[in-house]
């Protein structure tokens, strides 16, 4: 009965109630929130701007966690091979990772939802065409396709985002098409047609709002996937440029010295990445339970 609508409740209230009812989801949501806020406030909370070459001291490189700098600042999580404070680098890295993940997720949502709605509502050849394309996209491993795109078009932040959008839109399209097909068969859509409402209005104001549950769930999980995918690409060296390191790049940089015992350069960014991806997934999982249409009255 958990997902059932209480009298007069809005979708947002229902989601909130659902998350708060599960201790695991509440904890995960808090972690998410903390990390997002931390990333947003990175320029404020970071003790050091890791990209300001004037502040970095090369002689402070490879210091273990807890070491002190000559200026009295504590390197809580150590420094990397360039002398950057790991804590600051991680905050900025998280910021970049989240930005790329959210942007590509959002764009993929817009593209995928639009195509999914069109496919469901128009049916016939348009539906067949779009869905063949979706099948094609879903048939290839995500990283492989993104890799190929970046190899062909070169690196750069926006190129990475577009590559991620290209590999993700199909998930949204498929989910939305399924939900939209169900809704299109319902009488209220036919009633809207009978009342002379335009197709655009019906799609946007009638069908789309009823496709939100799967969209929200997939959106949440896809953001996590995008963050992880971007990290993978950066780790492989084809992701974001060095000037805007994400967590993936930090992990890659630290990887070179990992076996020498300088664990903090890889492990801490790795744990942070794990934290954000894991908590987003748990929240997404909980949302899937809460928004399950079979539980709706």
Partner 1 sequence: MTITPPAARAVAVTKRFQRKTDFADRLAIRLGIASPPPAVHALDAVDLEVGKGEVVGLVGESGCGKSTLGRVIAGMLPPTSGHVEHDGKDIAQLRGKAARDMRLATQIIFQDPMSSLNPRKRVREIIGEAPRVHGLMPRGGTRKLVEDLLARVGLDPAMADRYPHQFSGGQRQRIGIARALAVNPDFLICDESIAALDVSIQAQVINLFMQLRAELGLTLLFISHDLSVVRHISDRVVIMYLGRVVEEASTDAIFDTPRHPYTEALLHEIPRLDRRARSFSPVKGEIPSPVNPPSGCHFHPRCPFAMEICATTRPPLLDVAAGHRAACHLNGGQGRLPLEIQNHTQD
Q: Which is nearer to partner 1, 30 or 128 (CB)?
A: 128
- How far apart (Å, rounded) are the C-alpha atoms in residues 157 and 154? 10
Q: Is 136 in the site for partner 1 (CB under 8 A)?
A: no
Residue 258 to residue 234: CA distance in whole angstroms: 17
Contact between 8 and partner 1 (CB under 8 A)?
Answer: yes
Q: Which of 263, 262, 267 is nearest to 247 (CA)?
A: 267
Is the CB of 55 or the CB of 197 nearer to partner 1?
A: 197
- Give how many residues touch partner 1 by CB under 8 A: 25
Q: Which stretch binds partner 1 (CB under 8 A): 98-106, 143-151, 197-205, 279-287?
A: 197-205
Q: Residues 138, 201, 242, 295: which binds partner 1 (CB under 8 A)?
A: 201
**Taking CB under 8 A as the rule, which mask of x and - marks residues 165-194 in contact with partner 1?**
---------------------xxx-xxxxx
If binding is defined by CB under 8 A, does position 70 make contact with partner 1?
no
Long-range contact set of residues 10-17: C-beta below 8 Å, sequence gap at least 24: 11/212, 14/290, 14/291, 15/216, 15/287, 15/290, 15/291, 17/290
| DSSP track, 27-82 | HHHHHHHHHHHHHHTHHHH-SS-TT-TTT--GGGTTPPTTEE-TTS-EETT-B-TT
Q: Work out whether 209 is an interface residue with partner 1 (CB under 8 A).
A: yes
260 contributes a contact to partner 1 by CB under 8 A: no
Q: Is 7 in the site for partner 1 (CB under 8 A)?
A: yes
Eight-state DSSP code of residue 202:
I
By CB under 8 A, tell whether 210 contacts partner 1: yes
> Could you tell me which stretch among 52-60, 69-77, 152-160, 201-209 binds partner 1 (CB under 8 A)?
201-209
- 165 neighbors 146 (Cβ within 8 angstroms): no
The residue (of 209 and 237) whose beta carbon lies closer to partner 1 is 209
Asked whether the beta carbons of 229 and 164 are under 8 A apart, the reply is yes
Least spacing, CB of residue 212 vs partner 1, in Å: 8
Q: 136 Cβ partners below 8 Å, 6+ apart?
A: none
The phi, psi pair for 80, rounded to 5°, reads -100, -170
Taking the complex as a whole, how short is the minimal distance between the CB of residue 121 and partner 1, in angstroms?
15
> Judged by CB under 8 A, which stretch of 30-38, 124-132, 217-225, 267-275 contacts partner 1?
124-132
CB–CB of 168/141 below 8 Å?
Answer: no
Retrieve residue 41's tokens. 């406030």
Taking the complex as a whole, the smallest distance from the CB of residue 187 to partner 1 amounts, in Å, to 4
Residue 174 CA to residue 178 CA, distance in Å, equals 6
197 binds partner 1 (CB under 8 A): yes
Please tell me whether residue 125 binds partner 1 under the rule CB under 8 A.
Answer: yes
195 belongs to the binding site for partner 1 (CB under 8 A)? yes
Q: Which of 154, 196, 260, 261 binds partner 1 (CB under 8 A)?
A: 196
Q: Which spans of this chain sit near partner 1 (rule: CB under 8 A)?
A: 5, 7-8, 11, 124-125, 128, 186-188, 190-197, 201, 205-206, 209-210, 296-297
């Amino acid at each position: 009965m958990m997902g059932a609508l209480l009298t007069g409740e809005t979708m947002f209230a229902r989601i909130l109630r659902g998350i708060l009812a599960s201790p695991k989801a509440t904890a995960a949501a808090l972690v998410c929130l903390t990390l997002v806020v931390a990333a947003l406030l990175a320029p404020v909370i970071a003790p050091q701007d890791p990209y300001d070459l004037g502040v970095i001291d090369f002689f402070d490189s490879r210091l273990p966690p807890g070491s002190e700098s000559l200026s009295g600042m504590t390197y809580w999580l150590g420094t990397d091979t360039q002398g950057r404070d790991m804590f600051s680098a991680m905050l900025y890295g998280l910021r970049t990772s989240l930005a790329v993940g959210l942007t590509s997720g959002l764009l993929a949502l817009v593209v995928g939802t639009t195509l999914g709605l069109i496919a469901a509502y128009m049916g016939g050849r348009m539906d067949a065409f779009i869905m063949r394309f979706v099948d094609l996209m879903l048939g290839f491993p995500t990283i492989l396709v993104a890799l190929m795109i970046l190899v062909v078009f070169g690196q750069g932040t926006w190129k990475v985002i577009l590559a991620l959008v290209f590999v993700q839109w199909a998930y949204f399209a498929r989910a939305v098409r399924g939900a939209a097909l169900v809704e299109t068969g319902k009488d209220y859509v036919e009633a809207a047609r009978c009342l002379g409402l335009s197709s655009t209005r019906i799609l946007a104001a009638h069908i789309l709002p009823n496709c939100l549950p799967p969209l929200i769930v997939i959106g949440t999980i896809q953001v996590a996937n995008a963050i992880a995918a971007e990290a993978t690409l950066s780790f492989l060296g084809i992701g974001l440029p060095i000037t805007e390191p994400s967590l993936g790049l930090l992990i890659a940089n630290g990887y070179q010295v990992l076996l020498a015992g300088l664990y903090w350069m890889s492990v801490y960014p790795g744990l942070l990445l794990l934290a954000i991806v894991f908590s987003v997934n748990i929240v997404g999982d909980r949302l899937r339970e809460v928004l399950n249409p079979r539980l709706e009255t």
